[in-house]
Structure 1
Amino acid sequence: MTQAFDVVIVGAGMVGAALATGLGRSGFKVALIDQAEPATFDADLPPDIRVSAISAGSERYLAELGAWPAIKAMRTTVYTRLAVWDETRHPLSNLLPRKLAEVTFDACALGASHLGHIVENAVTQRALWNSASSEPGVTCFPGRTLTALDNGAEAAQVTLDNHDILDGRLIVGADGGNSGVRALAGIGVRRDQYQQQAMVISARYRGPVKDITWQGFYPSGPRAFLPLHSADGDQCWASLVWYDSPDTLARLKALSNEQLLQEITRAFPQELPPLTHIEAKASFPIARQHAKRYVNQRVVLVGDAAHTINPLAGQGVNLGFQDARCLQTQLREAQRAGKDLADPGLLAAYEHQRRPANRRMMLAMDLFYHLFSNRTPPLHLLRNLGLGAARAMPFARNQVARYAMGIDDELPPLASQIARRRPGFKTL
C-alpha cells in the first residue's frame, strides 16, 4: 500500500514528535514512524531512569505545541538554582577555597521564576505522542521500522518493514544518534568518542524535594544530582549521574544496590542528601558527533540524528527542540509562499541557522570537559580562577545562564570567542 504525505518523520522521540505536532497544527499532512508507541504513564511506577533538563525556552515551545500542560499534569520537578564547583584535591587548591570557586546560577538574579524543569523522557515522549496523534493531519505508524529510502530530486519515499510505501515531499530523520535515515541518505558524520562513560542512577533520598541541581567536577568526570518528585513518606526521588572510565563504571554496575549506595555516599560531594534506596542503574558511552551536513536533497536531519553533545549540561534535547522549531518555521514559510518543501534555499537557511548554534554548544561543552577532566596543576588553577571570576561577575554569569535557558540565542562574546578558538571548531 502506498500513501502520500507532505512530510514523513522517522523517529517519534521527543524531537520528532514535537516537530510532527507543530507541523500538524500548521495544516501539513504528516507521517510519524517509530519502532514502538511510548508507554502509557503510570503515576504509581518509579520514574524513568532517563531524564532531561528542559530549559525555559523549550518549555515555551512545548507550550506552543499544547504539550506542556500534559507534561505538567504527569510529573515535572522545577529547579530554581544550578551549582557547579571543582572537587579536585591538589596542593594548588589550597590557594582558593572551594566555596570561593563555586558558582550558583539563580533564577531570582535573572528575574525569572525558575531555570527549568527536570522531566522524565518517558513523560515528555508520551505527552508529545498524544499531541501529535491528536492532530487530524498526523498519521502515526507505531511498531514500524524503515527498510529503504528513495531520495530523489523530484520526490522521495520510504519503505517500511511491512512493505508499506510512504511518499513524502520531505523526509525528516529524527531517529537518534545511530540514524538509519542519515545512513540511507549517504550523510556522513564526524565523531569523537570521549574516554569517559556516564552512569545514571535512579535513587530515593530522605528529605523534601530540592529546587537545585548541581555538578561537582572530579578529574575522572563530574558527579551530578538532579532532583525529582516526592516519593512515599518523607522521601523523594533523584537522578544521579556519575561520569568515569568504562572500567570503573563496569565495576560499579556489578555491585549490588546496597553496595553501590555505599560507594555513592563515599564518592559524591557532601551536598548529596542521605540516600535510602537505589531503584535502577544504567551506563552509556558519550561522544561528540556532528553530521557533515543536515540536508541531502529531500532529506533533512534534526536532533540527535544531526548532532550529539557531551551531556554535561543536559542541553541535547533542548538543541533538538530548537532544530524542530526552526525547521517548522522554515516549512511554514515555504507553505505560505507556495514553495517546494525541499526548496534548496529554504533548507539551506535551516542549516545555516542551526549548524553554528549547535556547534557553539558542542564546543562549549567540549571545552568544559577538557578543562575539568584532568589533574594538570596549571589547568586546575585556571579553572578555579575561572569559577571564582564567574562568581565575582554576576553579569557575565547571568548571560551564560540566559543562553542555557534559551532566553538568549547567542553565547556571551568572550565564551563564544574561546569556543571558536578551540582546535576543530571549523571542522565540526
Structure 2
Amino acid sequence: MSEESFDLVIRGQRVLAAAGTAPREVGVRLGKIAAIEPLGSGLHGADVIELADDECLLPGLVDTHVHVNEPGRTDWEGFASATRAAAAGGVTTIIDMPLNSIPPTTTVDGLKLKRAAAEDQAFVDVGFWGGAVPGNKTDLRPLHDEGVFGFKCFLLPSGVDEFPQLDAGELEADLAELKSFDALMIVHAEDSRTIDRAPHAGGPEYAKFLASRPRGAENEAIAEVIERARRTGARAHILHLSSSDALPLIASAKRDGVRLTVETCPHYLTLTAEEIPDGATAFKCCPPIREASNRELLWKGLQDGTIDCIVSDHSPSTLDLKDLENGDFAVAWGGVSSLQLGLSLIWTEARHRGIPLEQVVSWLSRKPAALARLTNKGQLAPGYDADFCIFAPDGTFVVDVTRLKHKNPITPYDGKALSGVVRRTFLRGQEIDGRTPRGRLLRRGGT
C-alpha cells in the first residue's frame, strides 16, 4: 500500500465504529471513510492523526432540529454563527427549521431564498425542513421534489404570524398528501384549547409559566397526531417531547404499527423546574422544562426505545426578546440556545446513570440521521461521509456564554460544569477551522 493510499488516517485506542468501540485505524479518501482496520494495521495517509490516550473518535453528530432564522431574523442567529456553534459541539450536519426566517420555507421560492442565504457561509452540512401551514397543501409535493427532508407543522400558534397553525382536519389532509409520496410530518404537539383553559403565565414566577403549559396539552395533541397518522398511514414525528405522561400512549401506538417517531432535547433531560429561578427567562421554552420526576421518566423512555433520539431545538433570539430586565415569562421569547453543548450535556447526565457513550452517540447521531433518511451520515462505517468528532469524555469545563459560537450570548447553561470536551471536528475528512466554510447544502436523497 503506497504512502498516499489515504488522504487522512486517524489512529486511536477508542474508535467508536458501527460494531462498537475498539482500537482502530480509519482511512479517509475523497471525503469518505474508505477503510476501518484494527490498530496496528499500518494504514498510510498524506495526513495522520494519533488520538491522545484520553480521546475517542466519534461520528459527527446530526442535529435535525435547529432554528437558524436566516434570512429575515438574522439578528437572532444566522448560518455562519449557527454552523460554527454546531462544529464546536461536534455536530457536522444540521437540518434547519422552516420558521422564524422570513419568508418561512413553505414554498419552493422560500426554500430557494433560504438556500441562497446559506450558500458559502455554512461550516457544517445543512439540510432544510419544509413547512405545512393552512393553504399550502399544493406546495408540499414541489417542496419534497426540491429536496426538503419533511414538513413541520404546529397544532397551536407558532409564535410568529407568518407560520400559522394547522387544525386537526388540515393535519389529516396534509398527512394523507404526504403519505402519497412517503414524506415525513414533524409536529409541534401542544393543544391550543387545553392551553387556553390553563392559568395565565404572567410575571416572573416559573411555577406560573409551567402551569400555563400543562402536560395535558401535549398529551392531547400527541393523541391527535397518533389518531391521524393511524388513519392515513403517514409517517409522523413528535418534536421536543417534554411530557412523560405521553410515553405509554406513544409506546402503544408504536406497538400497533403506527409510523411514529419521537425526539426529546437536552434541556428536558438535564434541567428541572425545581431549580429554575424566578425571572430566569433563559430557561423559557415551549413545551416547558418540567419537574425532576418527569425528567427521570424521559430518561427511561429513551432507554426503552419509546423516545428515538435527542436533538437540540436550538431556538435563539436577541437578548431583548428574552425580557431579561423584567423576567416576565409571558413576554419572553420561548427558546433554549444549546447547539454547541448537546454532547457534553447529555454525556454529563448519562455517565452518572451508567449509560455508555456508544448509546449517547446513537441518540445524537445515528438515530437523527435515520429520522431524516441521511444514509451517509451518523455512523463511522465504510462508505459514510468522513464526519468526525474527537471527544475527550473525561475532560471537564464550565460553560461560559461569552465563549459560545452562537450569535446572542444567552443560555440557561451559563456557569454549568460539564463532562466531555469536543477537541476537534472534521467534515468529509477536513478539520473545521471556523474560518473556511466547507459545508454543503443537502437535499433529501442526496446532495
Q: Which range, TM-score by smaller chain?
A: under 0.3
- The normalised TM-score by structure 1 is 0.23
Higher helix share: 1
Higher strand share: 1
- The normalised TM-score by structure 2 is 0.22
